[in-house]
Structure 1
């Protein structure tokens, strides 16, 4: 593998490409319209200055209260206000071109919020609250007015399932840069380290195989050797999480829920942010994020992100560097049609530490130093991703819209590494070295198109969504493995002779194992919402899916096919008050299986049924969202061994579709600005999983990766008065104990505390320090934990310093 320092020139070339795209974004600013009023007019004489100062002076002169965060107006100037204006006219004039607007919260109380990009594309011109904004960037909030994971913009309290949004502000505050970090900071979600470089996503005890990119479902966790799923968060505005059966949205293999990654778009005004980072273990990062209109009319908008990160680790010998180059363009082809295209390239080089640490053979903890590395100095890995995005939205009128979106990704993963497995004896003997190499290339293609609209008929208000989507995943690759001499966990040899895939496969005892995947899915779906009574809405929906799966390798090939599989969905939402709603929902999911029965036919799919009921609230004029949910999730027809049938399936037992498992519990969550200048995200989950019917495991825990208790808490507070340029944050991720995968020991419960302090030195420069694992807790993260291996330490106490520069224009 080429040394990372020798690849600097390539990184610079890609960065210059991104800057070349971003440079033109600084040319001009669109001027949004504002509805004028005929209210009483007052004479003002406010001098030019920073926008925050001018707004404060205007509010005081008008006799109203205006609350906003300094970060919302950072880097913005105002020409002041001279002349006679009504209240609305004054706000409109001062905020013109700023992508900010006021929201009325009382007779004389207002707050400042960002105008959603989707509303801007529609030419919206009203005070916030009249349209459903989904963009979270620039709002300074830990919640959002609406989400798009269910097709079209919907308020959280109108969706009869559990949904959480991780906003751009919260990702920035907590320095969340990877999908793994996003998951472990989200209510009800868990991330499990894969034997490979990636991770698996779980919700309510069940996995999430696909990711959505701007609403397009795409399989990502389809690998025979574990997950290679890695995803940088730098190009995304927000992440939307739906928990529970997601068959309506994604078809087959959607038991745990859905994760929608919504990318950043070009802003309506020129914006440039330069960010530098430096932290523990020689970690450094540099990022350029620029966007804005590319013509005077603002009908063409662009965005570019160039990000570079490198660093070592608390684990000896381990290092990595990553670079991302992202570009996007949005075109208003007309007042009613918008076209969006995007490109993203991510490349990462690293020295991997795979399969983790072993324990004593009886499951006891060896208590090795956290710096322990079982690999060799020649361990090496490469991840290369190229993604393209396309979407086209046409608005027939205010009530009807057609949207088409497509996504494609080509991904290459290569790794060559040494690792150690098998439980150790008291003297450290027992583990063995293995040499391994993998080389996989995969392609993902996805297409989603739908029409949604609303109408009145037979005295009722109706809203419908009709759509179809298609995905195709193909991969080709191989792995080579070689078992070598015994080792000792207390005397690890990091300098054994170098190997590659060919030499491993050709060595005595070595092997080469090629494999291919071809997974295709298509479906048609629809939902119908009808307001039966003024406070009561009925939602009915369904999907018909076609699924085709083929896997070939040196082992017996496996395949399965489902044709015209129907998954229904139903829900009721009752509006208790304008702020509160109660709901109940039912959702189905199916999971095709590849196991064979005694008759040599493929056994029928797993069938999952999710029941959920709860309360949701949208409080303080939308600044806070709260929810409480009770859920029960049953899966039946799971494959179990048919011991009565003999060894009729390739010399082993065949299978029967007879197993059943259950997941149940409750969740409580709150997010948003709970009091002035205090942003909070807090969620608690109680979840049990159990085998109800199984010949070997009945009564035992089904999902060893799902703690019974989980708490996700983070808060950030901007100090008042003369200290309003300072903000402090803190939070904890806590969970109860879980059993290891092999059942030989338990991972104890833990609470990991994190903190932050930030200082807005000027309107252009912001400083922050994040201190993670404040109390330096020594712990193992969820993985394929066993006495034989798969045990990884979580990060020790560490710090990251951030400097953010946002120049004024």
Structure 2
């Protein structure tokens, strides 16, 4: 069944590809409406305007919050093929790889739960990403740090990740890439875009990719299929209709459910080979993610734009998994126990979004305004069929060699079924008071209703028209230099449960930010410094763990008041000197509880990221680059990871205007490090590896 699904998908996208390629070969001549658009490739790390923070199309100097944008050029230079790799290069973001196929993200000391696609909020059922989201469908990724209750409905003061899709282009363009790498990795990509009619009033874009790879981890392997099709049609001179569908299919063999025990029974730390895995030979975890959307944009006579979008997302997950729990004896290796389970999940989300954007004159200055409404309903169903033999003692090698026999999964059944419905209204404006001063303000009203249960516990909750205000001030000292400050309230419903299985009350609080941003090198580069302070009440703090639940363990929490996070972020991006493209950032954090004691020590207090490439003046066909990531020590109750640095190298040779070859060397020092201490278990990051790719552009 798993193979048949993949074969059917390949057949369908191949047929679509052939038809689209033939149609796209026609030239367009009609001057068409261009409300949105994207090119196949950007040649800079400095990004265009973004609206993920306020709903207003503002450039970075006009936005009173810290922001990082990763462009398509960076994704291609450093093979940032999934969201985990991309966010690991984003200033201030920590990628918590707790398992091979489940990931959390944090920023400024707190979990990132706000995700958007083209500026529309996308709810997350459990606050994590299953599998690793591929970046092939997206032109750029915007990360707005700090609270963002105005556009997302909840003001979690970490960050908002906005994925901006590729869009059809008027002129015919095409790109193909083949990539090979360590552990038998093979990836092929194709991307074609252009006019589908002679007039150019109908345009399309098709993006297809296939990947097959093994891993440095024992027994772990993954096959991936990707397909996205987008059609744009000029209904009238001012009305644009966009239809799109994307699909990501992952078939994963022997994934880790949970990870490695980090502590022996005597309290000393374990130390395994980097390749060690607790997964069984028979284990698998397949995830399919589909997204379909229809968008209508109307350019009104007064220059305002009315945009309506309807999106349907669906995720299907099927798995047989093997979890190993307990602590081993340091001398015998005994003490670990088995926990097999079959787990299936389906989520269906329907999102309706409408926004009105424009500007008006007041006191001789253009004033920006945005008004919007969003409704979504997310239905979640999951079921755990627990295997026979839960609690079986494992031999010293049996926990790690994959040999544990597949049991029947009929010991017991439990699961979840719940529906979350949210309705919200928002309004935001930027008022220019003078040539130098602008004031930004906004308010979002959110109503949230959750009905259903999860593993025997009720998830019922109801919040009526919760207001989340936002305010900011920008002082434009010169055209190249601005000062800013902003304030946002925090309201964030939680999915964490207490000892009795009841949901914790929402997190509430406030966050402040101030900073300076400046353009350099005649506008080709930008630098910024931000300071921030956040206070939150009822923040979930883990109290204990017991076997059970969807992850092999059932954690319970308590709400903690008076948690504070404050720090400094420094960012610089762009072409500071001719030929040198850079994006870099440094973050310093202080996270304390109400008594002033350090808390959430699993999050690094200091982080440094640098991505750079240089075009050699003597040999302009060659670009050389590097990536450096450094973080300070992190720790949990059972594990500690000392400060470490990772370094990558890249080289790109442009053989012709259309053909280039890229070589990427990752973790060149072969550093051994723990991916994350976010959970009580963990596993090691990838050792030294290499990737070679050839790209063709037309």
TM-score normalized by the length of structure 2: 0.92
User: Deviation at 1:519?
Assistant: 1.2
Call closer, same or farther: CA 1:720–1:459 in 2, change over 3 Å.
closer
* Equivalent in 431, 441, 445 of residue 346 of structure 2: 441
Q: Distance between the aligned counterparts of 2:377 and 2:461, measured in 1?
A: 15
Distance verdict in 2 for CA 1:757–1:337, change over 3 Å: same
Q: 1:518 aligns with which of 414, 419, 422?
A: 419
Supply the distance in 2 between the matched residues of 1:275 and 1:220 (Cα, whole angstroms): 32
Equivalent of 1:421 in 325, 333, 356:
325
Residue 531 of structure 1 deviates from its aligned partner by 1.2
Is residue 30–residue 201 contact of structure 2 (8 Å, CA) maintained in 1? Answer: no
> Structure 1 residues 398, 24: closer, same or farther in 2, change over 3 A?
farther
Q: CA deviation at 1:655?
A: 10
Alignment of 1:566-605 (within 5 A): 566-592=467-493, 605=506
One of 360, 366, 379 as aligned partner of 1:455: 360
**Which structure has the larger Rg?**
1
CA–CA separation in structure 2 for the residues paired with 1:455 and 1:387: 36
Find the counterpart in structure 2 of residue 793 from structure 1. 684
Distance in 2 separating the partners of 1:597 and 1:168: 43
Task: State how far apart, in whole Å, the 2-side matches of 1:669 and 1:28 are.
Answer: 44
Pairing 1:734–2:630 present:
yes
Are residues 1:377 and 2:298 paired?
Answer: no
Conserved in 2, the CA contact under 8 Å of 1:662 and 1:691? yes
Structure-2 change in CA distance of 1:779 and 1:604 (3 Å): closer
Q: Which residue of 2 aligns with 1:19?
A: 17
Q: Structure 1 residues 750 and 493, CA, compared in 2 at 3 Å: closer, same or farther? A: closer
Q: Which residue of 2 aligns with 1:97?
A: none
1:354 aligns with 2:266: no
1:157 aligns with 2:65: no
Q: 1:708 aligns to what?
A: 605
Displacement, 1:562? 0.8
Alignment of 1:194-209 (within 5 A): 194-195=98-99, 197-209=101-113
Report SS of the residue matched to 1:533.
coil
Pick aligned residue for 2:507 from 591, 606, 617: 606
| TM superposition shift of 1:333 | 1.9
- Change beyond 3 A, Cα 1:724–1:434: same
- Counterpart CA distance in 1 for 2:498 and 2:279 is 41
Tell me, yes or no, if the aligned pair for 2:431 and 2:439 is still in contact at 8 Å.
Answer: yes
Conserved in 2, the CA contact under 8 Å of 1:770 and 1:800?
yes
The whole-number CA distance in structure 2 between the counterparts of 1:432 and 1:282 is 33
Equivalent residue of 2:463, what SS?
strand
Cα drift, residue 771 of structure 1? 0.4
Q: Does 1:464 align with 2:366?
A: no
| Aligned residue in 1 for 2:83 | 179
Alignment correspondent of 1:48? none
* Equivalent residue number for residue 28 of structure 1: 26
Instruction: Check 1:554–1:595 CA distance in 2 against 1; reply closer, same or farther (3 A cut).
Output: closer
Provide, for residues 129-178 of structure 1, a one-character-per-residue CA deviation record: whole Å limited to 9, x for no partner. xxxx9847533111113113132421011000111101000001010011
Aligned partner of 2:151 in structure 1 is 249
Distance, in Å, in 2 between the alignment partners of 1:424 and 1:136 is 54
* Cα distance change on mapping 1:446 and 1:175 into 2, 3 Å: same
Which stretches in structure 1 are left out of the alignment for 5+ residues? Answer: 34-119, 124-132, 643-653, 693-697
CA distance in 2, matches of 1:711, 1:168: 22
Output the CA distance in 2 between the equivalents of 1:463 and 1:497. 64
Change (3 A) 1:634 1:412: same
- Per-residue deviation at 1:338? 1.5
Q: Which moved more, 1:529-538 or 1:22-31?
A: 22-31
Kindly indicate whether the alpha-carbon contact (under 8 Å) linking 2:38 and 2:168 is maintained by their aligned counterparts in 1.
no
Structure 1 residues 756 and 401: alpha-carbon distance in aligned structure 2, compared to 1, 3 A threshold: same
- Coordinate RMSD, CA, aligned: 2.7
| Cα separation, 2, equivalents of 1:241 and 1:574 | 23
Give the superposition deviation at 1:205.
1.3
Structure 2 residue runs without a partner (length 5+): 544-555
Give per-residue Cα distances to partners, 1:534-571, cap 9 Å, x unaligned: 20001111111101123413423132111011111111
How far, CA to CA, are the matches of 2:558 and 2:274 in structure 1? 44
Secondary structure in 1 aligned to 2:85?
Answer: helix
What is the alpha-carbon distance in structure 1 between the residues aligned to residue 541 and residue 7 of structure 2? 55
Distance 1:489 1:576, change over 3 A: farther
Secondary structure of the residue aligned to 1:616 is: strand
Q: CA deviation at 1:739?
A: 1.1
TM-score normalised per structure 1: 0.80
User: 1:552 matched to which residue of 2?
Assistant: 453
Partner SS for 1:281: coil
Q: Which residue of 1 aligns with 2:578?
A: 676
- Give, in angstroms, the shift of residue 398 of structure 1: 6.1
Q: What SS does the corresponding residue of 1:27 show, helix, strand or coil?
A: coil
Tell me what 2:230 maps to. 328
Matched residues in 1 for 2:690 and 2:84: separation?
Answer: 18
Structure 1 residue matching 2:18: 3-state secondary structure: helix
Matched, 1:146 2:49: yes
How far apart are 1:602 and its partner, in Å?
8.3
Structure 2 residue 402 is matched with structure 1 residue 494: yes
2:694 matched to which residue of 1? 803
The aligned runs of 1:761-772 (5 Å cut-off) are 761-772=655-666
Report the alpha carbon displacement of residue 267 of structure 1 after superposing the two structures with TM.
Answer: 1.5
How many residues are treated as equivalent by the alignment? 679
User: In the alignment, does 2:536 pair up with 1:635?
Assistant: yes
